[in-house]
Amino acid sequence: MNNNLDIYSMNGINNLAAIPMRREPSDKSEIVNQVLYGETFLILEKQEKWSKIKLHHDKYEGWIDNKQWVLDKRQKTKDKRQHIISSLFKKEKDCIYPLGSLVEFKVPENKKTILQTAKLFLNTPYLWGGRTFMGIDCSGFTQVVFRVHGIKLLRDAYQQATQGKKIKFADAATNDLAFFSNQEGRIIHVGIVIKEKNDIKIIHASGKVRIDKLEARGIFFEATQTYSHQLHSIKRISK
């Protein structure tokens, strides 16, 4: 049974470490995203077992299980101040929050660079829709890394490609975002540029979070001596 709600009057909040967001209201449906601890959202539609939501921070929409969220009853703006977890942080003995979670207590200032934060994810397995150390996809990786440094990115790679200033390959610098397309020209992948003197590399989630060589043609995978992705564009993102 559907219960249509006033989307301006009901908000939810995730009170678990990370929950799956699915394309359709079914346990068998594809996981398209993860909602991290403390993230809030508009409730667009509520069914008996599932709710369709729109995340506040990036407007991403999908379905979540009604057993895995609670109503956000905070009314005043000051009650909704939240701090982004910017390092592995433990509040209580038995409670560890994923990187990028939102909490109501103040956390230590993040003193790492964007690249240092990105390298924390090295060897994290690839997971479509993932946004945690347990599994992450390419755009979830870039979104979380930039988020803990106060930079907002949209969720999917093709959406992130609409942000920032376009940069020539020769002018690429560390922390730029590199986007890659398929044969039809559709953007399907993203990673973070690493520039070391004349050597350009990329840290990205492909099979796992890894560092590979980046060329004007695309990503060169030395193990197989092949190019795995075709470079589309490079963007410079700022706050």
**What's the pLDDT tens digit per position in 58-114?**
999 999 999 999 999 876 544 555 788 877 665 555 567 889 998 887 777 888 999
Strands 102-103 and 83-84: antiparallel
Which helix (H) or strand (E) element contains residue 131? Answer: strand 131-132
- How many other C-beta atoms lie within 10 A of the C-beta of residue 47? 13
Q: How confident is the model at residue 29 (pLDDT cuts 50, 70, 90)?
A: very high
Domain boundaries, the chain: 1-108, 114-236
pLDDT tens-digit series, residues 197-208: 889 999 999 999
So what's the pLDDT on residue 93?
52
CATH assignment, 114-236: 3.90.1720.10
Task: Mark whether 95 is an active-site residue.
Answer: no
Given 56, 57, 83, 204, which residue is catalytic? 204
Task: Mark whether 57 is an active-site residue.
Answer: no
At 146, is the secondary structure helix, strand, or coil? helix
Given 57, 138, 229, 232, which residue is catalytic? 138
Query: Whole-model pTM?
Result: 0.89
Given 57, 149, 189, 232, which residue is catalytic? 189
Integer Cα distance of 92 and 95 in angstroms: 5
Q: Is the dihedral of CA 133, 112, 144, 126 positive or negative?
A: negative
Architecture of the domain spanning 1-108: Roll (2.30)
Task: Mark whether 83 is an active-site residue.
Answer: no
